[in-house]
Amino acid sequence: MAATMEERLAQTFVELADTLVSGFDLMEFLHLLTDRCVELLEVDAAGLLLADARGALQLVAASTEQARLAELFQIQNDEGPCLDCYRTGSPVIVGDLATGNAAAQWPRFASAAKKMGFAAVHAIPMRLREEIIGTLNLFGSAPNVLDQAVARAATALVDVATIGILQERAAREQELVSGQLQVALNSRVMIEQAKGIIAERLRITPDQAFITLRHYSRNNNLPLTQLARDVISGTVAIAEGTQAGLRPKTPGQRR
């Protein structure tokens, strides 16, 4: 099992490295990362949270865009494994929410997580030198403590995520890191705005709107952030009716 994990991890690093060097889009990269976390770490959902200027944890990428799952991340601004992980800088591994202290420590979170069918929760810190800039949050539907190999792999993936955020070689100063974090957070906001526009035009939910965005992004090789901008500006139009979806705008067409 360990050898297979290492091989798969190596493959993932190659894939992520390719994304880093060619046509890099941070949102695309972080979404890819959370998808791979789910596959490699054998969990059911993964989310990457970054701390904003005020120290609140914001979800920037997740393996699933289900709104109800977003709630589970949001609650953790007040209590939960991610908040503890962020504050202490240490991983928080909860093999089984039903046993131990989870319900006493984090009553709202434990209850919500159980309702959504999750039994195992883990939070891994994203560290940049001395600072904790966010956390990777993992959920499993079956009780499961991360074994050594998996925990190491999770840490490695988190480090890669941090590198992706830094991106530029010259990033030694705090200032540049903060700039990159702001870009990531802002990109996420843009994607949410685009989801709202599409949801309203096509009369679908924001979750479904995200799927529409991703399909178009993949089929047209257009990075997510750029696509979000294009939807907002009207460069990519939204067609309704039986062929509902996104289209490049034709001349004379309204957004």
Site residues (vs another protein, CB under 8 A): 52-56, 58-59, 67, 70, 74, 77, 131, 173-176, 178-180, 182-183, 185-187, 189-201, 206, 228-229, 232-233
Output the smallest distance, CB 180 to another protein, in A: 7
Rounded CA-CA distance 255/240 in Å is 11
> Which residue, 59 or 119, is less far from another protein as judged by CB?
59
Q: How many Cα neighbours within 13 Å face the side chain of 204?
A: 18
Output the smallest distance, CB 184 to another protein, in A: 9
> Which residue, 111 or 193, is less far from another protein as judged by CB?
193
> Which residue, 20 or 183, is less far from another protein as judged by CB?
183
> Which residue, 59 or 153, is less far from another protein as judged by CB?
59
Do strands 57-62 and 245-248 pair parallel, antiparallel, or not at all (unpaired)? unpaired
Tally of CB atoms within 10 A around 165? 23
Both structure tokens of 22? 């060619």
Output the smallest distance, CB 196 to another protein, in A: 2
Output the smallest distance, CB 225 to another protein, in A: 9
> Which residue, 146 or 210, is less far from another protein as judged by CB?
210
86: left (phi over 0), alpha (psi -120 to 50) or beta: alpha
> Which residue, 151 or 237, is less far from another protein as judged by CB?
237
Helix, strand or coil, per DSSP, at residue 214? helix
Output the smallest distance, CB 78 to another protein, in A: 9
Rounded CA-CA distance 33/19 in Å is 10
> Which residue, 15 or 78, is less far from another protein as judged by CB?
78
Helix, strand or coil, per DSSP, at residue 168? coil
CA dihedral 209, 213, 216, 221 (to 10 degrees): -170
Output the smallest distance, CB 205 to another protein, in A: 8
Nearest to 146 by CA among 56, 225, 17, 43: 43
Output the smallest distance, CB 18 to another protein, in A: 23
Nearest to 108 by CA among 137, 71, 55: 71
Radius of gyration of the chain (CA): 19
Residues in the chain: 255
